[in-house]
Structure 1
Amino acid sequence: MGRSTRSPKMPDARQPAADEFSEIERLFRPLTGGVAGAFDLLDDAAVVPQRPGFDLVVTKDAIVGGVHFPEGERPDLIARKLVRVNLSDLAAKAAEPFGCFLAVAWPKAFGPTERETFAAGLAQDLRTFGVALLGGDTVSTPGPLTASLTALGWVAEGAMVRRAGAEPGNLVAVSGTIGDGGLGLAAVRGEIQDAGGWLADRYRLPTPRLDLRDILQRHATAAADVSDGLVADAGHVARASGVRLSLNLDRLPLSLAGSSWLAGQADRVLGLIRLATGGDDYEVVATFAQTPPRGFTVIGEISAGEGVEVRAAGRVLTLSDRGWSHV
């Protein structure tokens, strides 16, 4: 894994510098899966082979303690969520994942046991999704745990589904159910009841919608993953495509847990807004020229113009918060 800005590198300020390389060999080399271009993580770089007839899709997401996961979260769950949120980006591009690069900054509280647990979680999900670790970097930090993954995927040449591509007359649809991620965070915080911990699991371990790859390639005109909130991510599609996007929150597909929560809200419209702006769902919002295939729920339409219009209960809503902002 690569060099840091200081030499030698120290993944933990309490340990000798030489330990980093043995730690990489022990914890991360097995995650390469023997891919030749990873060079057993002994080099400062990797080689990504060409695949004739395919484009290489590259995405990168980072997570920070206290921002993207609660303080005290289990290290293996942190690593698994890191993998999944990155693969969600590839899923929305209709790409097939194959490799990744990891950068992680260990806080002082993250000793050998915590790092081993993190690596075990990483290994579990890289194996589950068939992804090889190709390289990266480990450093120490006085701040919270910070980790970043760069994920690589293949898509047929010219076939990547972009945010740009939606046209007037297209239908807006979303996969799965919406609102569970935001409710899951509330459940983790103890703010709402969560029988069986289902909502918390939806927040901690979202499922990247890699199963939608063929549908998106064949039918979608544009797509984005729902990470910052449905309204916000639909807005990214509208902006990139140069169109106006209308959403009807009364059409939101809800899980049993989401429906139950909404039924207990004094104001249904405010509840729908919370579900549509909460984020962390990692579903796919996409546009289609015709009625989308099974697995997607139509929730709006595209017209000429710009921006996002949100409706519920027969009226247009004015939203002060459309989703998570990183600034």
Structure 2
Amino acid sequence: MAAGDSGEDKLIARLFGSVATHPGALGLKDDAALLAVPPGHELVLTKDALVAGVHFFPDDPPASIARKAMRVNLSDLAAKGADPLGVLLAFAIPPDMDAAALEAFAGGIGADATLYGAPLLGGDTVRTPGPFTVSITALGAVPTGQMVRRATARPGEAIVVSGTIGDSALGLALRLDPARSGFAGLDSASLDHLRDRYLHPRPRLALARPLRGRASAAMDVSDGLVGDLRKLLSASGVAGTIEASRVPFSAAARAAIAAEPALLETALTGGDDYEILAVMPDHEVSAFSTFATAAGIGVSVIGHTHEGEGLSVRDGDGAELTLARGSFSHF
């Protein structure tokens, strides 16, 4: 993403000239960015692409699309215990995306770059016959040897999750079928909450540092709580049991599930929560929760790991729940 004299360069300068103010961006006038890694730290890098019609609706507000693209990547950094250093942005512009939409998109990138301390460092833009596609590479830093991995959970530890689960999946279900019985009795504030959680993930960067040295393993919940926990357990070579009654739900989600119990599976497996899922010793939970509470984020213990393999999800009576869908998958 280099600004110069071509049509593309002028577009970049107009859209992102006031956004890419970090010295490492070099004013978007070079072919690469320059970034110093803090002494005693290692780089953590992650990349997610979002495609219209797959990850967001084509008629979603452009600023919301931008912020979702930023936040799903920053969520990965948070789960690794990393502090953001910056982002690289690439996007493909379809013919029906006008100047106003591009300005709004750039504004969303800039707003979250400032909000989360993740400056725009560079990237690329191209034309495409469609669909609109956004790809962000997020770069973070973590003290040497302290990245929280996925494959290092141990048996006999607490399984914890931040925030609330299922709001985004229910927001998507609401978007697809607003007449469903689970949503019929919800008030406008609850409906707005579910819609917003789908549009605007909340990366838990405030939990990045508290995870270091406390969590034996962690990941963010992108493809559904149950499916992502199964991935973590499998990668670590341990088993786990969680209780559905201990999974934290918002008031809106609880009301929807009470009205339509089938939505419990949607909430547990639907994805796009972007909460932190971690495994840690029981004696570390209190300190971790204290840091989270200070940041306005809830933390819930939903189960424990143990020797063996696989994941058991229990209901309030201790019976195992059978879930038809494990997690979201593109393939």
TM over 0.5: yes
Please give the residue correspondences for 1:140-179 in structure 2 after superposition, counting only pairs within 5 Å. 140-179=127-166
Please give the residue correspondences for 1:1-327 in structure 2 after superposition, counting only pairs within 5 Å. 1=1, 18-35=6-23, 37-191=24-178, 192-193=183-184, 195-196=188-189, 197-265=192-260, 268=261, 270-291=262-283, 292-293=285-286, 294=289, 295-313=298-316, 314-327=318-331
Larger CA deviation: 240-249 vs 96-105:
240-249
Q: Distance in 2 between matches of 1:247 and 1:273?
A: 14
Maintained 8 Å contact 2:158/2:282 = yes
Structure 1 residue matching 2:223: 3-state secondary structure = coil
Q: Runs ≥4 in structure 1, deviation > 3 angstroms?
A: none
Partner AA of 2:116 in structure 1? F
Partner AA of 1:320 in structure 2? A
Q: Distance in 2 between matches of 1:218 and 1:229?
A: 25
Q: Deviations over 1:158-193 (max 9, x none)?
A: 111111111110111111111111111122334235
Q: Distance in 2 between matches of 1:90 and 1:22?
A: 32
Q: Deviations over 1:254-313 (max 9, x none)?
A: 111011111112xx4x43222110111111111011151323211111111222222224
Q: Deviations over 1:92-112 (max 9, x none)?
A: 111111200001001110122
Q: Distance in 1 between matches of 2:114 and 2:106?
A: 12
Maintained 8 Å contact 1:104/1:147 = yes
Matched residues, percent identical? 47
Q: Which runs of 5+ in 1 are unaligned?
A: 4-16
Q: Distance in 2 between matches of 1:34 and 1:159?
A: 26
Q: Which runs of 5+ in 2 are unaligned?
A: 290-297
Q: Distance in 1 between matches of 2:38 and 2:160?
A: 32
Maintained 8 Å contact 1:177/1:255 = yes
Maintained 8 Å contact 1:88/1:210 = yes
Q: Distance in 1 between matches of 2:20 and 2:109?
A: 12
Q: How many pairs align?
A: 311
Structure 2 residue matching 1:60: 3-state secondary structure = strand
TM-score where L is the length of structure 1: 0.90
Give the corresponding residue for 1:10.
none
Q: Distance in 1 between matches of 2:241 and 2:282?
A: 16
Partner AA of 2:303 in structure 1? G
Maintained 8 Å contact 1:279/1:324 = yes
Q: How far is 1:217 from its partner?
A: 1.0
Maintained 8 Å contact 1:89/1:225 = yes
Larger CA deviation: 244-253 vs 99-108:
244-253
Q: Distance in 2 between matches of 1:230 and 1:255?
A: 15
Maintained 8 Å contact 2:215/2:279 = yes
TM-score where L is the length of structure 2: 0.89
Maintained 8 Å contact 2:239/2:309 = yes
Q: Distance in 1 between matches of 2:272 and 2:122?
A: 27
Give the corresponding residue for 1:8.
none
Q: How far is 1:153 from its partner?
A: 0.8
Q: Distance in 1 between matches of 2:28 and 2:273?
A: 33
Q: How far is 1:2 from its partner?
A: 6.2
Q: Distance in 2 between matches of 1:50 and 1:281?
A: 30
Structure 2 residue matching 1:173: 3-state secondary structure = strand
Q: How far is 1:133 from its partner?
A: 0.9
Give the corresponding residue for 2:294.
none
Structure 2 residue matching 1:279: 3-state secondary structure = coil
Maintained 8 Å contact 2:82/2:209 = no
Maintained 8 Å contact 1:249/1:273 = no
Maintained 8 Å contact 2:92/2:127 = yes
- Aligned-pair Cα RMSD in Å: 1.8
Larger CA deviation: 302-311 vs 229-238:
302-311
Partner AA of 2:85 in structure 1? F
Q: Distance in 1 between matches of 2:215 and 2:36?
A: 29
